[in-house]
Amino acid sequence: MSKNILITGASSGFGRDTAETLAGAGHQVFASMRDIGGRNRPHADALQTRGIHVVELDVTDEASVEHGVASVFAKAGHLDVLVNNAGIGSAGISEAFTTEQLRALFDVNVFGVQRMLRAVLPAFRQQGHGLVINIGSILGRVTFPFFGLYGASKFAIEALTDSYRYELSKLGIDVVLIQPSNYPTNIFASAQLPSDTARSPGYGEIGAVPGKMVETLMELFKSDNAPNPHDVAEAIAQVVEQPDGKRPARLVVGQSFGTDVINAQAASIQAQLLESLGLGQLAEA
């Protein structure tokens, strides 16, 4: 059955691939991004030629979110799926990032998700069904040194996703977290780098490690053994097609680095916790 689907951060990377994959499967897709009349115009034009609706939407701007979501409902009449994909990366000595940089990171990766949910959920609740897919990361479960601030934003998405899934479980709304591993997308090329560079020399040889880690990743991404980022789009398409109430809480895509083990352990602990609080029913669809 064809669904109406809104995807944030769809100009490139996972979002762009997911928009094209879902449209190819027969769904009506609304691909949102910033600045469709400027720097993202080539991306917007390319998506439109494939029959995908393009929506101007900046997840860091409350008014832009409200206007963009309203335009989707005006065009489609209703929405079935929200994919919270918009995000930015971050890599480097944690101390060398300013507070303003961390605020900007969370504004997209965490606050942007909250803005989108507040804009969409009233309609989902009114219609009695809907699917939210949040794009997290394995770095929301395991920590790579020098990627900790980005990971902190994805750890936040773990808690946010769980809480929304419990709270919406009796309202016909599924909430699923996708946890991608390392994939060759532009999130590394466009990642935040520390702006307070005077801090890094104090770390001596350790200060050179982040650059070497990124170089190693770039070499992997150019090799014959590079992971295929299309895996993520396929995983999202799989979740969209699954029956309501039967979808997994989380789905690791790519090399797990132990994330799947932590997921299983956390699920057991969470189930026991909810039971102890007398809220075990919220863990059931």
Active-site hit among 150, 164, 166, 183:
150
Q: Is 150 a catalytic residue?
A: yes
Q: What is the DSSP string of the chain?
A: ---EEEESS-SSHHHHHHHHHHHHTT-EEEEEES-TTTTTHHHHHHHHTTT-EEEE--TT-HHHHHHHHHHHHHHHSS--EEEE-----B-S-GGGS-HHHHHHHHIIIIIHHHHHHHHHHHHHHHHT-EEEEEE--GGGTS--TT-HHHHHHHHHHHHHHHHHHHHHTTTTEEEEEEEE-S--SHHHHT-B--S-GGGGGGGGGGGGHHHHHHHHHHHHHHSTT---THHHHHHHHHHHHSPTT-S-SEEEES--TTHHHHHHHHHHHHHHHHHHTT-GGGG--
Indicate the angle between helix axes 148-168 and 112-127, nearest 10 degrees. 20
Sort 26 into a burial class: Cβ within 10 Å, 0-12 / 13-18 / 19+. exposed
User: Closest by alpha carbon to 155, among 139, 172, 179?
Assistant: 139
User: Closest by alpha carbon to 180, among 237, 227, 138?
Assistant: 138
Catalytic positions, please?
A: 150
